[in-house]
Chain A
Amino acid sequence: MFGKKRGHRHTGSKTLGSAGEILFFALLLFLGSAFFVLLLTRTVIPEWRANHEFVETTAVVLDKRVEERIDRNGNPVFAPRARIRYEQSPDEIWAYDIAGTTFSNVTDAQAQLDLLTVGETYPCWYDPLNPEVAVLVRGYSLWFWMLLLAPVGFMLIGGAGLAYALWYWDKSPEHQAARGQLGRIDLFEEINARAKDFPTIPHDADLINSPGTHLKYRLPSSNSQGWRLFGATVVCIVWNGIVVVFTVLAVRRHFHGAGDWRLDLLVFPFLLMGGFLIYYFVRELLIVTGVGQTFAEISDHPLLPGGTYELYLAQGGHLSLKSIDILLQCTEQAAYRQGTDTRTDRRIVFSRTLFHQDNLEILPGQPLEAHCDLRVPDDAMHSFTADHNQVQWTLAVRAVAEGWPAFERNFPVVVYPPERLTSETDERSTKLESELVV
């Protein structure tokens, strides 16, 4: 039976919204292009011509002066000018350079003119298309060329935005998503063939490219420890570098009998934070350098719900462990925008201990070796990855060692959905494809 209901999510006029978007980007493109053409015709091309197409001759300097002008902001600027005479021009002309360079003070402009002596002959370049235009000084105004970047930026943003808006003109989010999916290029056909069968499930190619010594695959660690140490180092150095400057300033004031207690109070919390950052840095350094390597190997991959797999773990180093645990965990990760920030929410939604041992000694050359079974729950959600949301499965090794900070190492695994009869479905799929008009 049909359940009638009104279209409940009308989104207003999309056409109007898209038209506004197109207008905005077209305006950006137009402004950028207009500014670009203006710069090109007013400065870039004349400068290029003066340097490449103007013909060299000689001119006699008859007079010179500094002209005072007013710039766009109403401030006075000064331009060096020289009256010259040369063979190709019937009249005497006032000239200097093609860009009409000005200076903010008379002295600088005069310094340029001091290089010319009235009555002397100097090289000069004139325009063969208009011999009454000539320059005594050639060269490029670099800042003007740099200025070209501004309209080019406008043109790029406007052009790309316009192309994007036109591409998605009058298209619903579903249409856009469908086109986006179809438009993806199959660079890695084999990987994409699997991705086609199991959309949104991450590839496990990186997880199964290393054979194990005890079991089929050696799993790679997620390697976040090294990045944490790098981050801690950078933040620690930058933060404490700034804090040290203010601390030295505050201490010196006290030595000179001019102590400022307000400055001391201001610096103190920053100093405390600096101390904590040093502690955190040392802790991470100890974990990375002091604790030995952790290896995890698995009998098969990818994992399937309800499947049981053998697991081998080796922990090296020279440690007295209070406890060590191997856990199978499922984490949901959701990224969202809050204002201009992108935040990530991570939640462990499933955690099962696979192995636990208390009070054990690890000696150099005699790593802890543990064998256990990994059983994936029958009703486990498969791994899932999209632009903003993920469901990740990991093997986490957690250890508490005497004299060491607690540490955790993670080994990502991929869980697939339960198996189905592929051939039967493929037959149906082929049959349907011929029936459907898409």
Chain B
Amino acid sequence: MIKALRQPLISIQIDRGQQVFGSGEVLAGAFQIDAVDHADVRVVETSVLWFTEGTGDEDMGVHYFERLSVDDVPELNLQERRRFQTVLPNSPLSYEGVSVKICWCVRVRVFLRQGRDFVAERAFQLGNIPLVQAEGMATI
């Protein structure tokens, strides 16, 4: 029998709806997974990370990582609302340059038993670097 693949609903919330953080501030929040059978969820990974966008190939750095697996703890219900929190680092700060952009986000990745995985992100800003550099822009 062919079973239709259901995409999980992944919701991520950052406490107080805060979008901009300073370095050293505490980022706290919660995530929840819905619309999928409890038994279908195998692993859930939560990361707080930065990645680059722009002309160059992507770089990524993971600041906080948590992996919850029912293989390790069978009684775990991965659909429960779960909290995360971390102290944000001094760098790299969010940056929107001309060819280099640095983005921060909370990312939740859900691995299903069928082998597929689904990702959701909640972006936030670390630091307060203005979006565009002010002076004397030139290209070489």
Contacts and interface: CB of A to CB of B under 8 A. Distances in A.
Q: Most chain-B Cβ atoms within 10 A of its Cβ — which of A3, A10, A437? A: A10
A425 B27 CA distance: 12
A172 B45 contact: yes
Interface in B75-110: 85-87, 89-93, 95, 97-100, 102, 107, 109-110
Interface of A: 1-16, 170, 172-175, 177-178, 181, 197-201, 330-337, 345-352, 377, 379-382, 384, 386-391, 416-417, 420-422, 424-425, 428-429, 432, 435-438
Contacts of B56: 333-336, 345, 388-389
B98 A8 contact: no
Given A174-B49, A345-B99, A4 B118 contact: no
B24 A2 contact: no
B98 A347 contact: yes
Contacts of A335: 56-57
Interface of B: 7-11, 13, 17, 22-24, 26, 32, 34, 45, 47, 49, 52, 54-67, 85-87, 89-93, 95, 97-100, 102, 107, 109-111, 114-121, 127-130, 133-140
Nearest to B94: A381
21 contacts: A2-B11, A8-B120, A9-B119, A10-B7, A10-B119, A11-B117, A12-B116, A16-B115, A175-B65, A199-B90, A199-B92, A334-B54, A334-B100, A337-B57, A348-B137, A380-B129, A381-B95, A384-B91, A424-B24, A428-B24, A437-B66
Nearest to A15: B115
A175 B45 contact: yes
A337 B137 CA distance: 25
Given A382-B92, A384-B102, A425 B24 contact: yes
A276 to B, nearest CB: 20
Contact of A174 (B92, B98, B107): B107
Q: Chain B interface mostly helix, strand, loop or mixed? A: strand
6 A-B pairs with least C-beta separation: A7-B118, A334-B56, A425-B24, A386-B59, A351-B136, A178-B65
Nearest to B7: A6
Q: Most chain-A Cβ atoms within 10 A of its Cβ — which of B23, B32, B65, B90? A: B90
Contacts of B52: 386, 388-389
Contacts of A333: 56, 100
Contacts of A417: 23, 90-91, 93, 127
Given A334-B56, A348-B137, A436-B66, 15 more contacts: A2-B11, A7-B10, A12-B116, A13-B115, A173-B60, A174-B65, A199-B91, A330-B133, A336-B55, A347-B98, A347-B138, A350-B134, A381-B93, A381-B129, A388-B58
A351 B138 contact: yes
B125 to A, nearest CB: 13
A13 B120 contact: no
B133 A350 contact: yes
A9 B66 CA distance: 19
Given A7-B120, A8-B119, A2 B13 contact: yes
A14 B114 CA distance: 10
Contact of B66 (A7, A15, A438): A438
A389 to B, nearest CB: 4
Contacts of A175: 45, 65, 67
A432 B61 contact: no
A382 B91 CA distance: 8
Contacts of B54: 334, 389
A91 B24 CA distance: 90
A409 to B, nearest CB: 16
A424 B97 CA distance: 31
A206 B115 CA distance: 48
Nearest to A18: B115
Given A2-B32, A5-B10, A436 B85 contact: yes
